[in-house]
Each structure stands twice: as C-alpha cells, then as structure tokens.
Chains A and B, each alone.
Chain A
C-alpha cells in the first residue's frame, strides 16, 4: 500500500526543522515590524516576508494533515494580509496578537510532531484572533461599501468599560482608513457613520486590553516550557553547507584511491612471498616498502583532513542561538517597564553544534539579568543623563582556539555595597570581612544569592548566576564578570570551539594510561620525596612560595600499586584560582585526543569524563579535573592547605 511506502516520519522531521527556521524568521520579522508601530505603516518588505513564512508553514502543515497548525497559520496569514493591504493599522495591539500567535504556532508544531494535545488556551486565542481580524475585515468591507447593511452589532454589551479616549482613537482609525481608501464610492461614507453605537464594542475588543490577556497567557506557557528543561526530541539534525560536504566527499575519494594502492602492494607482496623462483626478493621489496610508506603518509594526511572537515560539518553559526534573544529581551523589557535595545554582532561565528545547543540557556539567564538588574528604568536613566533606552550588546568572536561571547550593558553596574549587605545578611560573609571588589563579585555566583529586592518573574529567584557559571564550566569554558558602578556590566564567556577533540597530557597511573585535558594543566613536575610535606596528614608541596595540596590519583581511584620511595611525579592543575598537584607514575607526552563518552551503562563516574582510543588501539580514560578535585575536597582526600595558613 502506498501508505507503507511513504515514510511519514522523515517528512515530519523535515517539517519540524523547516518550521523551526520559519518561526525564527517570523519572530525576527515581528520584531522589525514592531519598530514601525509609531508610524503605523510598516515597510511592505517586512510584511511580505512575514506573509511568505506563514504561508509556507500553512502549506507544509496542510500537506502532513496538521490541521490545527494549518488553521492558525492561515488566520495569522490573513491578519498579515490585512496589514499588507493596509486595511489594518499597525498598532501595539496587532503586533502583540501576532506575537502571541507565533508562540501558539510554535507549540502547535511541537504538539503536532510529538502527537501531544494542542496547547492550553488555543481555542480562546483563536476566538480573539477571529474577533480581532473580524473588526478590520468588516471595517474594510464597509469602506468598500459591500456589506454595510448586513452588519449587526450588539450595542448593549461592553459599553461601560470603554473610555472616551478609546472611542476617539477608534474613530480616528476609521478616518485614517477612509482617507487611505480615497477612491471608495461616496455611498460608503454614511455606512461607516451609521454604526456609531457599535463602535464601543469594537473598540473594547480591539486595543491592548484584549490582547494583554493573550500575551500574558503565552508568557506563562513559555515559562512552563522553560521549566521542562530543554527536552529535545531524539534524532537531532543539522544543516550543512554543501561545500563542506563536497570537501568531505573529495577526501573520501582520496581515501578510496589510497585503499586500492595499499591492496595492490599487499597482493604484490604476497605474490613475491609465494614465488619461490625469485631468488633475491630484496631488490623487489625495496620499492614496495617505499610505496607503502608513501601510502601511509597519504593516509595520515587524508585522515587528518577528514577529521578536520567533519569537525567543520559540526560547526554551526552561533546566530542560531542569538536569533531568539531579540524577542526575549523585548518581552522581558516590556514586562519590567524598561526600554532596551539589543545589539548583536558576530552571529556568524562558528561553533560546535553541541556547544551551540548548550550555551543558549546560560546566555538567556545573562540577558534576563541585564534587563532586570542592569538596565535602569527609563526615568532613572534620564535623571542620570543617559539615554532612556538602555543598550545590551551581545558579541561573539573567535580568539585562537576559543570563542569569546560577551554580554554587556550600559546600566547600573553591580552594586557592590548591596552585594556586601546581602552577603552579610545571608551569612555568606562576616560584617567585618574585608573583601576586594573581585571577591565581592564572586559572591554573586553563590547558589541562592540575589540582590533583587523583590522576587520578580524574570529573575531574582536566586537562581541564575551560579547556574550560569556551572553550565559554562561544564562546557569547559571560563566565565568572567567586569563591572563599573553606574556605567555597566560586562560578562565574558570563553568556550572551546569543540568538545570532541582536545589536547591532553597522557600520564601513567599504576598500569593504565590516563589523559588529562591540557587546558587545565599548568605544569608538570618531578619532586623529590623530602620536599613533600604534610598538613594535617595530607601531602603538600611548596611551589614558588605557594602551598599546593597533592592528590594521588592511584589512591583516589583505588588502583593500588606501589609508591615510588624517592620521588613523586606531579601534574599541577589549576581550577578556579586554586592549584592541586595530581600525583601520577609517569608522563607519556602530549597528544590530540578524540573524546568518546563512556556508555550510559557505566554511569557517571566522579573524576572521569570519558575515554579515548590511542593510536595503538589502547583505551585511555580522560580525567575530569573539575569533578576529581571537587570530589577529593569533599571527601577530605586533599589538604585544604590554602586555608590553613601554612
């Protein structure tokens, strides 16, 4: 049967990807559209782009039989059509209802793909949408003199809720429309004047009051969804530049050529071995050996290039994450009564797909924080001689083997006095503690810390900064804050370009090889045993005047083995400002390694982040310096030398 041949799931996956992109596009268009609210007439190109995107969503959802998606897309498309034909003015209300519609559309796509029930409140919204569109559809029909006499209005309801201002606004609207309709037959004029009484009802349903409810409901749903975490459907896909695939294909071509060459050598070799008639094979084997060496060299080169290319395939522009932030900043700013401009640069900067997926959430927290805590209220800003609208800059660029992402605002800066007061109140620091500015800033990374006076729905729940820091650290990144009181705050995130391949120091512990990521290694040392001293029974060494606690990996991993009676081999690793010496049994040099996760069956193991396969096929476990050291501290395996004042 045809149904069995038609692989629906593939189309659905494609539909999901396509819709995701289109919805981003719709979001971007709506944001641009909003800039024209003041003038009331949008740039036609924006409306057209919006229209096209909605139209595509409608088409492909219809093809797959996702009726709800199709219906909503159709209604939104209609609304855009009204805008496009200038039958509906561009107002805050119309933009808001479009935004809310876009959110419902996102949820509907999700529920259609996952076959879950339609989002809550959809019927309500559709109703309002119809009502909203109805007003203008009818108004324009009136203007065109088509159905004026058929219009029926219930004059009794809603009258008391409507202010004179609103009525006046509506009448002005009609006048404007009339003026635009210019060429409409004169007969139409009385028809418009006639429904003077129904005007209040229309006015009541049109402006922000009706829309506000929808927007609030949509915001609440968004929060709910955020709580679910990033529940990503299995089978992630990635869009790849065709050029990158071509490069890969060429390289694979070379590989195939090389394979033929090597099997040729092998068969020649075996013929020589079996042919007893050949007395002096050396002369013949010589060139073969050379051939083989050449092939091996070529193989090495090609495989390196394939590795590089495949890494590039995994790279996607960070803009994929940035794209959703203008909307977020807009919503948060609106909710907090602030004026904020988001400036994005470096959206084309490439980054590994996994990191791009993971970095969104911490960035979202930072941006919310900037709007909520950083940027002052417009009046306050004016009083301080700043522009009413605050600026948040989101900037990404490459630096060496890293990507740097900066989030900065021109707001209040971190109020260190308030941080100190809060710290004292929460018992994090003593009232008389003398802390440097840097140490005070560090306080904001303490779990549960917040300087916000009231718990808002945006931030100030006391989660956030510590989570941000934790997420960044998990991605092997570094997180830094700079702040100037009254002038603004700058967050800097440094991330590795990829998590899959890293430089590592190979060390031997008892009879296994372990890999220590080079980014956390400061130096390696050979220390004579007399130089190792103890603090509270735990081993330490003194390194350039600093006391560095030692952690014997063999002991931590319970590997047994005998201790060297004369010396210790130490790898000094740095971790958030403190240093720890990892004691190993030998150094085996540096190497680029490909990280492979340990199977889920093995489970999470403190101190181990994965494994790699070395050139000779041997497996080496990769040490997770962060969890190793914190676990060792927690269990008291390492001296807290830096606090004991030795």
Chain B
C-alpha cells in the first residue's frame, strides 16, 4: 500500500534509499537524506546532568555533535560498545545528531509500497519513534522518525522510565 508515514513519497513505484542498521535482534532504517555519514566509535565526552539517553558529545572535524545512545533511548539494555558499533551522524532540520547503533548493515532500496504504517507496539518501543515498517524479502526494517528520537520531552521520558520499571518487576 502506498499509504505510509513518509510524506516525501507521492508516486507508487518509487523507492527510497535507507541506511539500515541493527539494534539487538532488530533492523532499523533511516532515510538516507537524513543520514550525513557513518563513523566508527570515537571518544565521547560525557555531559553531566544531560538527559539519560544523551551519551555525550564528540568532536567531528571541529564541530560538536551530541550523541544519543539509541538503546538507552528505546529502553533496551545497554551493552559494551564493540568493534562493529557505529555512530550514524544524522541531519534533522538544522540539528546534527549522532546515534549509536550496534552495527550498520547497508544502504538498501525499499519500494514505498512495501512500507506499512507502524503497528501499535514493537518490542516495547513506543510507536511515536516509528514512521513505518518496510519489507524487503523476508526482512523487516523499522523506519525511524528521527525528529521524535531527538525530541527531549520530559513527560515522555518519564513514561518510558515507568514502562521500564514495570517491565523489570
């Protein structure tokens, strides 16, 4: 179906290019237009008292880029960074933000008719972060709404914390 959460797509038969990456067992994707570059893990300067999901800031060629740990953001268990951990530097509006992912898979084309609206709940992540789900062969790629990912909303953070607490008890 051509109805998707992605407002850029108007014509059926069109494809979008997506940078796909892994987080735990799931595969996610962001529109390549929003992905600036993918870099290896670098030293991250911790910013005290920042929101919990804010891992810190990095120096990217003289520019300060805030780094969000997507696992923390989505309430998933934190893991040690590995050799395959990557930072996807994204451009959302005028804001440049890096997100830490477990690994980056590839850039793939997804026909927009293969993207469906997000189901109510995926793996405990609120649907507000999800634009849709793309199907490529037997893979499911969760399309992220980056604007929501970087939005600091205390109320939502609290809800997230709550759901984590109830999940762990």
**A residues bordering B, Cβ < 8 Å?**
512, 556-559, 596, 598-603, 605-608, 611, 613, 617-621
Complex: chain A residue closest to B56, CB-CB: A619
Whole-angstrom CA separation of A100 from B43 in the bound complex? 59
CA distance A605 to B27 in the complex (A): 33
Would A599 and B49 count as touching, CB distance under 8 A?
Answer: no
Which residues in A have their C-beta under 8 angstroms from that of B54?
601-602
Please name all residues of chain B whose beta carbon is closer than 8 Å to the beta carbon of A606 when the two chains form the complex.
Answer: 49
- A603–B150 Cα distance when bound, in Å, is 11
Best-buried of A598, A600, A602, A605 by chain B (most CB within 10 Å): A602
B152 and A608 contact, CB distance less than 8 A = no
Are A602 and B62 neighbours in the complex by a CB distance under 8 Å?
no
Q: How far is the CA of A559 from the CA of B54 in the complex (A)?
A: 15
State how many residues of chain B have any CB contact under 8 Å with chain A: 22
Given contacts A598-B66, A599-B65, A601-B152, 17 further A-B contacts (CB under 8 A): A512-B46, A557-B49, A559-B48, A598-B47, A599-B66, A601-B66, A601-B68, A602-B51, A602-B54, A603-B50, A603-B152, A605-B48, A606-B49, A613-B62, A619-B57, A620-B45, A621-B45
Q: Is A598 a contact of B46 with CB atoms below 8 Å?
A: no
* Min C-beta distance of A590 to chain B, whole Å: 20
Contact assessment for B47 and A608 in the assembled complex, using a CB-CB cutoff below 8 Å: yes
B59 touches A619 (CB 8 A): yes
Distance in Å: Cβ of A66 to nearest Cβ of chain B: 28
Asked whether, in the complex, the Cβ of A619 is within 8 Å of the Cβ of B48, the reply is: no
Within the complex, the shortest CB–CB distance from A467 to chain B, in Å, comes to 27
| Residue B17 lies at the interface, judged by CB distance under 8 Å to chain A | no
- Consensus secondary structure, chain A interface: loop
Which residues of chain B are near A512, meaning CB under 8 Å?
45-46
B44 to chain A, nearest CB (A): 9
Contact flag A619-B96 (CB < 8 Å), given A598-B64, A601-B150, A603-B50? no
Bound complex: CA of A234 vs CA of B47, how far in Å?
A: 28
Can you list 30 A-B pairs with a CB-CB distance of less than 8 A? Answer: A557-B48, A558-B48, A559-B48, A596-B64, A599-B57, A599-B64, A599-B95, A599-B96, A601-B54, A601-B66, A601-B68, A601-B95, A601-B97, A601-B152, A602-B50, A602-B51, A602-B57, A603-B51, A605-B47, A605-B49, A605-B50, A611-B45, A611-B57, A617-B59, A618-B43, A618-B59, A619-B57, A620-B45, A621-B45, A621-B47
Give Cα distance in the complex from A598 to B54, angstroms: 12
Beta-carbon contact of B49 and A619 below 8 Å = no
Interface of chain B residues 8 through 61 with chain A (CB within 8 A):
43, 45-51, 54, 57-59
**Top 9 closest pairs, chain A to chain B, by CB:** A557-B48, A619-B45, A599-B66, A601-B66, A602-B66, A605-B49, A601-B150, A596-B64, A613-B59
Bound together, the chains give a CA A557 to CA B144 distance in angstroms of: 32
Q: Which B residues touch A611, using CB under 8 A?
A: 45, 57, 64
A-facing residues in B63-100 (Cβ within 8 Å): 64-66, 68, 95-97
Q: A608 CA to B62 CA in the complex, in Å?
A: 19
Per-residue interface assignment for chain B, residues 138 to 169, with 1 indicating a CB less than 8 Å from any chain A CB and 0 otherwise: 00000000000010100000000000000000
Q: B59 to A600, Cβ gap below 8 A?
A: no
Chain B residue at smallest Cβ distance from A603: B152
- CB within 8 Å for A619 and B58 given contacts A602-B47, A603-B51, A603-B152: yes
Residues of chain A within 8 A (CB-CB) of B43 are 618
CB <8 Å contact, B48 and A607: yes
Partner of B64, one of A556, A559, A608, A619: A619
A607 — which chain B residues lie within 8 A by C-beta? 48-49
B48 to A, closest residue via Cβ: A557
Considering the chains assembled together, what is the distance between the CA atoms of A607 and B50 in angstroms?
11
> With A and B bound together, what is the CA distance between A601 and B51 in angstroms?
10
Name the distance in Å between B48's Cβ and chain A's nearest Cβ.
Answer: 3
Residues of A within 8 A of B59 (CB): 613, 617-619
Give the residues in chain A near B150, CB-CB below 8 Å.
601
Which residues on B sit within 8 Å (CB–CB) of A621?
45, 47-48
B45 / chain A contacts, CB cutoff of 8 Å? 512, 611, 618-621
CA distance A279 to B168 in the complex (A): 69
Give A611 to B97 CA distance when docked, in angstroms.
16
Expressed in whole angstroms, the Cα–Cα distance for A619 and B59 within the complex equals 7
User: What's the least CB distance linking B81 to chain A, in Å?
Assistant: 17
Contacts of A617 in B (CB 8 A): 59
* Chain A positions within 8 Å of B58 at CB level: 619
A598 touches B57 (CB 8 A): yes
